[in-house]
Structure 1
Amino acid sequence: MRILKLQAWEDRYRARLEEMRDVEFKWLRKALYSQAFITFIFWSSPIFVAAVTFGTSILLSSQLTAGSVLSALATFRILQEPLRNFPDLVSMMAQTKVSLDRISAFLQEEELQEDATLVLPRGITEVAVEIKDGVFGWDSSLKPTLSGIQLKVERGMRVAVCGMVGSGKSSFLSCILGEIPKMAGEVRICGSAAYVPQSAWIQSGNIEENILFGSPMDKTRYKSVIHACSLKKDLELFSHGDQTIIGDRGINLSGGQKQRVQLARALYQDADIYLLDDPFSAVDAHTGSELFKEYIMTALAMKTVIYVTHQVEFLPAADMILVLKEGQIIQAGKYDDLLQAGTDFNTLVSAHHEAIEAMDIPNHSSEDSDGNSSPDGPVSAKCNPEGPDIDSLAKDVHDSVASSEQKAIKEKKKAKRSRKKQLVQEEERERGRVSMKVYLSYMAAAYKGLLIPLIIIAQALFQFLQIGSNWWMAWANPQTEGDKPKVSPMVLLIVYMALAFGSSWFIFVRAVLVATFGLAAAQKLFLKMLRSVFRAPMSFFDSTPAGRILNRVSIDQSVVDLDIPFRLGGFASTTIQLLGIVCVMAKVTWQVLLLVIPMAMACLWMQKYYMASSRELVRIVSIQKSPIIHLFGESIAGAATIRGFGQEKRFIKRNLYLLDCFARPFFCSIAAIEWLCLRMELLSTFVFAFCMILLVSFPHGSIDPSMAGLAVTYGLNLNARLSRWILSFCKLENKIISIERIYQYCHIPSEAPAVIEKSCPPSSWPESGTVELRDLKVRYKENLPMVLHGVNCVFPGGKKIGIVGRTGSGKSTLIQALFRLIEPASGRIIVDNIDISTIGIHDLRGRLSIIPQDPTLFEGTIRGNLDPLEEHSDSHIWEALDKCQLGEIVREKELKLDTPVLENGDNWSVGQRQLVSLGRALLKQARILVLDEATASVDTATDNLIQRIIRTEFKDCTVCTIAHRIPTVIDSDLVLVLSDGRVAEFDTPSRLLEDRSSMFLKLVTEYSSRSSGIPDF
Structure 2
Amino acid sequence: MENEAYGPRCPRSAFRYDVLFCWLTSTMRRAKGRVVQTTDLCSPPDADLIAEMLPDHVLMVRDVLRRERCSLLQAGVAMLVYSICQTALPIIMLMVIRCVETDDTGELQWLSEWTTVDSMVYWILAYAVFQAGAAVANHWQLHAAFHVGQRVRAQLIMLVFQKALRVDPQRRRAEMCERLQRKVLQAVAQEFPHDPQEALSTSRWLSLQIVLAGAVLVSTISASALCGILVLIAVVPISKNVGLGSGIFSSRISEPYLERVFQKRQEELYWAMRESLVYGVSMLVTVLAPTFAFATTLVAFALLGEGSFSATRLFGTLALLNALRFPIMDLGSMLASIVALHTGWQRIQHFLDLAEAGIPVARLEDDVELKMERCTFSCNVDGEECFQLSLDATLTLKRGDLCLVLGKVGSGKSTLLQGILGENRCSSGLLSVSHGIAYCAQQPWIRNETLMENILFGEELDSEWYDQVLAACGLGPDLKQLPYGDQTEIGERGVTISGGQKQRVALARAVYQRKCSMVILDDVFSALDAHTSSHIIKALFHGQKGLLRDRAVLLASHQTACALQAQRVLLLGQKDASVPHSSLLFDGDWLDLCKEPHLLSLLGHVPSSDDTVTKEDKQSQEEEENEDAEEAQHRSAAALVTAQTPMPKSMMRSEEHTDRISWRSVKAYCRCCGGFPWVASFFASSVLERIALIFLDWWLARWAEEDSADERSMYFAVYFATVLLVIVFVSFGRLAFAVATVNAGRRLFKQLALSVLRAPMWWWDTTPLGRVLNRFSFDTENTDTTLVTKLFPALQSMSWCWPYLYHCIPCCTSLPFTLNCLRFVPRPLASSWSNPFLHSFFLLHLLR
TM-score normalised by structure 2 residue count: 0.59
| Distance apart, 1:93 and its partner CA | 7.2
Structure 1 residue 526, shift from structure 2 partner = 1.9
Identity of aligned residues (%): 25
Aligned equivalent of 1:781 = none
Aligned counterpart, 1:438: 665
Shift of 1:217: 3.1
The one-letter code of the counterpart of 2:548 is L
Aligned to 2:601: 346
Asked if structure 2 preserves the Cα contact closer than 8 Å seen for 1:204 and 1:246, the reply is: yes
> Aligned-pair distance for 1:519?
0.7
Question: What is the match of residue 201 of structure 1?
Answer: 445
Partner deviation per Cα, 1:648-675 (whole Å, 9 max, x = no partner): xxxxxxxxxxxxxxxxxxxxxxxxxxxx
Counterparts of 1:603-752 in structure 2, within 5 Å, are 603-626=811-834, 629-631=835-837, 633-634=839-840, 636-637=842-843, 639-640=845-846, 642-643=847-848
2:832 maps to amino acid: Q
Query: Structure 1 625/192 Cα, relative in aligned 2: closer, same or farther at 3 Å?
Result: closer
Matched, 1:225 2:469: yes
Match of 2:737 in 1: 514
Q: Which residue of 2 aligns with 1:117?
A: 360
> Given that residues 66 and 475 in structure 1 are in contact (C-alpha distance below 8 angstroms), is that contact kept between their aligned partners in structure 2?
no
1:356-371 to 2 correspondences below 5 Å: none
Equivalent in the alignment of 1:251: 495
Residue among 331, 334, 339 paired with 2:585: 331
Residue of structure 2 equivalent to 1:1011: none
Aligned to 2:431: 187
Shift of 1:119: 3.7
Structure 2 CA distance for partners of 1:339 and 1:244, relative to 1, 3 Å? same
**Aligned ranges 1:888-899 → 2 under 5 Å:** none
Listed one character per residue, the Cα deviations across residues 574-603 of structure 1 (whole Å, up to 9, x for unaligned) are: 2333346x5xxxxxxxxxxxxx62x32222
* 1:445–1:524 contact (8 Å) kept in structure 2: yes
Q: In structure 2, do the counterparts of structure 1 residues 335 and 306 end up closer, same or farther at CA, with 3 Å as the change threshold?
A: same
Cα distance in 2 between the residues matched to 1:413 and 1:171: 38
Determine the structure 2 residue equivalent to 1:530: 753
Change (3 A) 1:79 1:612: farther
Q: Is the 8 A contact 1:207 1:243 kept in 2?
A: yes
- Per-residue deviation, 1:55: 0.6
Aligned pairs (5 A) from 1:51-450: 51-61=295-305, 62-79=307-324, 103-104=348-349, 106-113=351-358, 116-121=359-364, 123=366, 125=368, 128-139=370-381, 141-143=383-385, 145-150=387-392, 151-155=394-398, 156-190=400-434, 192-270=436-514, 271-297=516-542, 298-315=546-563, 317-318=565-566, 319-325=568-574, 326-333=580-587, 334-335=589-590, 337-338=592-593, 340-343=595-598, 345-350=600-605, 421-430=648-657, 434-450=661-677
- The one-letter code sitting in structure 2 at the alignment partner of 1:189 is V
Q: Distance in 2 between matches of 1:36 and 1:351?
A: 77
| Partner Cα separation in structure 2 for residue 83 and residue 575 of structure 1 | 26
**SS at 1:311's partner residue?**
coil
Change (3 A) 1:264 1:15: same
Q: Among 672, 695, 705, which residue is 1:468 paired with? A: 695
Structure of greater relative contact order (alpha carbons < 8 Å, 6+ residues apart) = 1
Give the paired residue count: 553
One-letter amino acid of the structure 1 residue matched with residue 585 of structure 2: Q
* 8 Å Cα contact 1:117/1:188 also seen in 2: yes
Provide the aligned C-alpha RMSD in A. Answer: 3.5
Q: Cα distance 1:99–1:252, how it changes in 2: closer, same or farther (>3 A)? A: farther
Query: How many angstroms apart in 1 are the aligned matches of 2:687 and 2:421?
Result: 68
In structure 2, C-alpha distance between the alignment counterparts of 1:157 and 1:36, rounded to whole Å: 70
Q: CA deviation at 1:78?
A: 4.8
Whether the aligned pair in 2 keeps the contact of 1:54 and 1:493 (CA below 8 Å) is no
SS in 1 for 2:308: coil
CA, structure 1 residues 76+576, in 2 after alignment: closer, same or farther (shift >3 Å)? farther
- After superposition, give the CA deviation of every residue in 1:217-276 in whole Å (9 maximum; x if it has no partner): 333322222222112222233343323333222222221112112222222223433211
For residue 557 of structure 1, the aligned residue among 752, 755, 780 is 780
Change (3 A) 1:457 1:106: farther
* Whole-angstrom CA distance in 2 between matches of 1:352 and 1:539: 48
User: Conserved in 2, the CA contact under 8 Å of 1:137 and 1:144?
Assistant: yes
Matched residue of 1:146: which SS? strand
Distance 2:522 2:600 in 1: 19
Question: What's the CA shift string for 1:520-567, capped at 9, x where partnerless?
Answer: 111211221122122222222322223323333333222211122333
Q: After superposition, what is the alpha-carbon deviation per residue over 1:726-773, rounded to whole angstroms, capped at 9, x for unaligned?
A: xxxxxxxxxxxxxxxxxxxxxxxxxxxxxxxxxxxxxxxxxxxxxxxx
User: Does residue 497 of the first structure (1) align with residue 720 of the second (2)?
Assistant: yes
Contact 2:375 2:431 in 1 (8 A): no
Q: CA separation in 1, counterparts of 2:411 and 2:649?
A: 42
Q: CA deviation at 1:317?
A: 4.5
Is the CA contact 2:375–2:427 (under 8 Å) kept in the aligned structure 1? Answer: no
TM-score by length of 1: 0.50
Instruction: Quickly say closer, same or farther: Cα 1:107–1:501, change in 2 above 3 A.
Output: farther
Distance in 1, Cα, partners of 2:734 & 2:601: 77
Distance in 1, Cα, partners of 2:642 & 2:789: 53
Q: Which runs of 5+ in 1 are unaligned?
A: 1-8, 354-411, 583-595, 644-1017
Q: Distance in 2 between matches of 1:182 and 1:81?
A: 59
How far 1:445 moved relative to its partner?
Answer: 0.5
CA shift for structure 1 position 159: 2.4
1:349 is matched by which residue type in structure 2? G
Structure 1 contact 312–349 (Cα < 8 Å) conserved: no
Secondary structure in 2 matching 1:205:
coil
How far the C-alpha of 1:203 sits from its partner, in A, is: 2.4
Q: What residue number does 1:968 align with?
A: none
C-alpha displacement of 1:618: 4.1
Q: Does the C-alpha gap of structure 1 residues 172 and 418 become closer, same or farther in structure 2, counting only changes over 3 Å? A: closer
CA distance in 1, matches of 2:356, 2:265: 31
Q: Deviations over 1:258-299 (max 9, x none)?
A: 211222222222343321101111111210111112223333
Query: 1-side partners of 2:428 and 2:261: how far apart?
Result: 42
Aligned-residue offset at 1:188: 1.3
Matched residue SS, 2:825: helix
Q: Deviation of residue 49 (structure 1)?
A: 0.8
Amino acid at match of 2:383: S
Question: AA paired with 2:375?
Answer: D
Provide the C-alpha distance between the structure 2 equivalents of 1:351 and 1:515, rounded to a whole number of angstroms. 74
Say whether residues 1:577 and 2:832 are aligned partners.
no
Q: Which amino acid in the other structure matches residue 601 of structure 2?
A: N
Partner SS, residue 715 of structure 2: helix
Deviation at 1:154, TM superposition (A): 4.0
Question: How far 1:513 sits from its partner (Å)?
Answer: 0.9
Aligned equivalent of 1:458, options 668, 672, 685? 685
Q: Could you tell me how far 1:632 is from its partner in structure 2?
A: 6.4
Change in Cα spacing, 1:352 to 1:456, as seen in structure 2 (3 Å) is farther
Amino acid aligned to 1:250: G
Alignment of 1:590-609 (within 5 A): 597=806, 599-609=807-817
Distance 1:496 1:245 in 2: 69
In structure 2, relative to structure 1, the CA distance for the partners of 1:509 and 1:516 (3 Å cut) is: same
Distance 2:467 2:643 in 1: 20
Which AA in structure 2 matches 1:118?
V
Q: Secondary structure at the match of 1:557?
A: helix
Partner secondary structure for residue 396 of structure 2: strand
CA distance in 2, matches of 1:464, 1:60: 31
